[in-house]
Amino acid sequence: MVPGGERVRAAGGAPLRVSTLELFFDLVFAFTLTQLTARLADSGFTFVSIAQVLLVFGVLWWMYGGYAWLTNARAPDSTVSRLLLLLGMAGFLVVGLAIPRGFDAPQSGGSGVALGLGYLVVVAVHAMLYYRVNRNILRIAPFNVGSAVLVIVAGAVSGAAKYPLWAAALAIQILAPLIRPVAGRFEISPAHFVERHGALIIVALGESVAAVGIGAASLVLSAQLVVAVVLGLALSACLWWAYFGSGDDERAERAMTSASPERRPRLALAGYFFAHAPMLLGVVALSAGVKLTIGHAAQPHPARQALALGAGVALFLAGDAAFREVMGIGRAWARYAAAVFAVATAALGATVATEAQLAVLIAAVAGMLLAERQLAARLPAAGPPVSG
């Protein structure tokens, strides 16, 4: 990093590291994740709220990826680009503020139209900035604009008609790279790309820790509460260790660096859009479960809350396992097995206590990490080795 937040560039002008403005952007995007967490927690994990969270997350995650690709191609180092990026952040902020009532009927104070208009700002700013760098964005931008228009229309209608519109908005984005292939038309700088997504994972895990604090802040501090809070922190730390302590980020950077420039966009889509999506959704579910249970420890909880804790960890581990497979950087079977076990711990939370479920989840992830380390010591590592 250099003064002013500008990123140091390599000899070809390729960005190497993440700028402070990009980290600022990630914090704003993380606000939308906290709003999705609150939506799940406030609704009690109904099927409707889960569907809403999946749809909103899907379209927002697509455009977060778009901005990551944008700043990967060119650092926000001019006044115009910085101001436009701040405008895109404002669009994400409006979307986040609109999420709680984004699916309510317009006549009852629903904020779906505001959500859609905020999203249109996000899409429009992205297209303008990317066009200055690579005109191939015109292959994808019309799909993004169409998605934003569908979200606006969904906000203007009432009832179940919203859901097909949201589903269509998400579908046309995901299908865009298949209809208009990106290979060979966009360049990926591996170091920046890996660091940017790693930073977002850290921010998201930080939000899960914040959920622990929010759940405990209004309660009388007791030994029992301290135990529950420390267990919640330890579980988030275990997930951090699974991603960073195992060296997956370093291996992924080497895998992308060794891949041909034509193959890197496909790796970026598969590894950092599709595989990272369940990881972030897992953090959202885990945070919502902790937020609801941390203040009522030492007792069984409703099955949905206990399932949120287990499913949150399971989604994170399953996404990380898929990421390893896509990038070819490590064995995945232990993480898939731990993900299945994590879901099963919901029975413990629903019949015994949150502390018991949290303790077992921590033991499961720690045991998985230990088993992987011991196996790696006996067998050749899968993928590029990591020092330290």
Task: For residue range 88-110, list pLDDT tens digits in order.
Answer: 999 999 999 999 999 999 988 88
Residue 197 makes CB contacts below 8 A (sequence gap 6+) with 68, 272, 276
Helix (H, G, I), strand (E, B) or coil at 109: coil
- pLDDT value of position 5: 34
Please return the burial class of 234, using the count of CB atoms within 10 Å of its CB with bins 0-12, 13-18 and 19+.
Answer: middle
Please return the burial class of 135, using the count of CB atoms within 10 Å of its CB with bins 0-12, 13-18 and 19+.
Answer: exposed
Please return the burial class of 52, using the count of CB atoms within 10 Å of its CB with bins 0-12, 13-18 and 19+.
Answer: buried
Residues linked to residue 180 through DSSP beta bridges, in sequence order: none
- pLDDT value of position 297: 60
Give me the mean pLDDT over the 297-323 stretch.
89
Q: pLDDT band for 36, please (50, 70, 90 cuts).
A: very high
Q: pLDDT band for 181, please (50, 70, 90 cuts).
A: confident
Answer left, alpha or beta for residue 381, where phi above 0 means left and psi between -120 and 50 means alpha.
beta
CA–CA dist 362, 231 (Å, integer) = 8
Residue 78 makes CB contacts below 8 A (sequence gap 6+) with none
Q: What digits encode the pLDDT tens for the residues 186-221?
A: 889 999 999 999 999 999 998 778 877 777 777 778
CA–CA dist 127, 369 (Å, integer) = 42
Average pLDDT of the chain, as a whole number? 88
- pLDDT value of position 6: 36
CA–CA dist 287, 214 (Å, integer) = 10
Q: pLDDT band for 295, please (50, 70, 90 cuts).
A: low
Identify residue 180 by its one-letter amino acid code. R
Instruction: Indicate if the pLDDT at residue 183 is higher than 70.
Output: no
Instruction: Give the tokens for residue 92.
Output: 């994400």
Instruction: Indicate if the pLDDT at residue 388 is higher than 50.
Output: no
- pLDDT value of position 130: 94
Instruction: Give the tokens for residue 245.
Output: 């302590």
Tell me, rounded to whole angstroms, the distance of Cα 333 from its chain centroid.
22
Question: Looking at the whole model, is its pTM more than 0.85?
Answer: yes
Instruction: Give the tokens for residue 288.
Output: 């919502």
Of 122 and 354, the one with more pLDDT? 122
Q: pLDDT band for 224, please (50, 70, 90 cuts).
A: confident
Q: Which of 115, 109, 104 is nearest to 49 (CA)?
A: 104
- pLDDT value of position 296: 65
- pLDDT value of position 84: 96
- pLDDT value of position 298: 64
Instruction: Give the tokens for residue 42.
Output: 């406030």
Q: Which of 309, 310, 312, 335 is nearest to 323 (CA)?
A: 335
